[in-house]
């Protein structure tokens, strides 16, 4: 069981939602935080909240995860200011919703760059310092859509399938080298994500959702227990099991469910 006291935890996408909730909850556990995002004003608000709980001032870095130099700079600054990272949470991501044929190609590119390359860059930037010390944990935030293909989320889902695959590849590659991997797959979470990705607001009445705080608490527990995989949405677990064990039946069920969800639209 991991003891958080004095651990260095780096989080991307820490300015809002799940990342900000993780920072707030970890602050109470005595960790040294290194937080990154593009919106510095929000990141400073998170830092003020963290310090209000009596935690040390976090390392704050303005960082666009789609830019390798900036991500490498975040890793370097973390090591210089706080020491090698013990836990790295690659959480930054953005959504995308809409019919595939009318998707803006520039947004598709941003979604791929943020959700996939952003995670690749984050792992690539931090892993050497973790391997040097021979310990640590990488936490990759994917989505249940990384296991459940869904209409109108095609590009987003594809990036999350890639992240789920990346986590498993890394797990094998890092075997016996002291660095563990935790793959996190949240379901619907009530954050600013829905607005940015133009997810229909009625989705929150149609499906179970969780707060960022609930998901953050589950992630923290999973890391403490060195779990390899967390489906952070209890309601999705049986759906994922259905697809895995009886894919033919799952396809029929999903088609009917999606037809009903998008009836007339
Ligand atoms: N909300 C959901 O329903 C849901 C479901 C499953 C999985 N997830 C995943 O959970 C993660 C966190 O999402 P959230 O729900 O907490 O959404 P959120 O509140 O919109 O937070 C997203 C975070 O990512 C950061 N970000 C976005 N693009 C970035 C970039 N290019 N460079 C650096 N940071 C960037 C944002 O910071 P700045 O804008 O300040 O840079 C923000 O801090 C994402 O990976 C998302 O895919 C969310």
172 catalytic, yes or no? Answer: no
Q: State if residue 117 touches ligand 1 by the CB under 6 angstroms criterion.
A: no
Q: State if residue 44 touches ligand 1 by the CB under 6 angstroms criterion.
A: no
pLDDT in tens, 54-110: 889 999 999 999 999 999 999 999 999 999 999 999 999 999 999 999 999 999 999
pLDDT over 80 (residue 224)? yes
Q: Which CATH architecture has domain 8-235?
A: 3-Layer(aba) Sandwich (3.40)
- For ligand 1, atom 16, the nearest C-alpha belongs to 17
pLDDT over 80 (residue 201)? no
Higher-scoring residue by pLDDT: 78, 233 = 78
Quote the pLDDT of residue 263.
Answer: 84
Q: How far apart are the first and last CA of the chain?
A: 48
For range 32-58, the mean pLDDT: 95
Out of 34, 37, 198, mutate this one to test ligand 1's pocket (max ligand atoms within 8 Å of CB): namely: 37
Ligand 1 centre and the CA of 49: distance in Å?
19
What is the average pLDDT score of the chain?
A: 94
pLDDT over 70 (residue 264)? no
Ligand 1 centre and the CA of 18: distance in Å?
8
- For ligand 1, atom 43, the nearest C-alpha belongs to 13
Q: Which pTM value belongs to this model?
A: 0.97
């Amino acid at each position: 069981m991991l003891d958080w006291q004095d651990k260095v935890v780096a989080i991307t996408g820490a300015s809002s939602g799940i990342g900000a909730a993780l920072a707030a909850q970890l602050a109470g556990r005595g960790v040294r935080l290194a937080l990154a995002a593009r919106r510095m004003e929000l990141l400073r608000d998170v830092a003020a909240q963290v310090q209000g709980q009596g935690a040390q001032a976090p390392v704050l870095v303005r960082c666009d995860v789609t830019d390798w130099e900036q991500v490498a700079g975040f890793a370097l600054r973390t090591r210089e200011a706080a020491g090698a990272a013990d836990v790295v949470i690659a959480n930054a991501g953005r959504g995308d919703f809409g019919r595939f044929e009318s998707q803006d190609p520039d947004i598709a590119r941003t979604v791929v760059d943020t959700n996939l390359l952003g995670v690749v860059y984050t792992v690539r930037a931090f892993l050497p310092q973790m391997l040097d010390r021979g310990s640590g944990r990488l936490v990759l935030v994917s989505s249940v859509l990384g296991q459940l293909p869904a209409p109108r989320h095609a590009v987003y889902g594809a990036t999350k399938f890639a992240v789920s695959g990346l986590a498993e590849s890394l797990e094998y590659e890092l075997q016996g080298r002291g660095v563990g991997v935790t793959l996190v797959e949240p379901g619907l979470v009530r954050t600013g994500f829905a607005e940015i990705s133009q997810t229909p607001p009625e989705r929150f009445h149609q499906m179970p959702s969780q707060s960022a705080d609930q998901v953050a608490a589950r992630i923290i527990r999973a890391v403490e227990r060195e779990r390899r995989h967390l489906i952070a949405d209890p309601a999705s677990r049986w759906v994922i099991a259905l697809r895995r064990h009886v894919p033919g039946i799952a396809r029929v069920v999903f088609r009917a469910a999606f037809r009903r969800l998008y009836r007339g639209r």
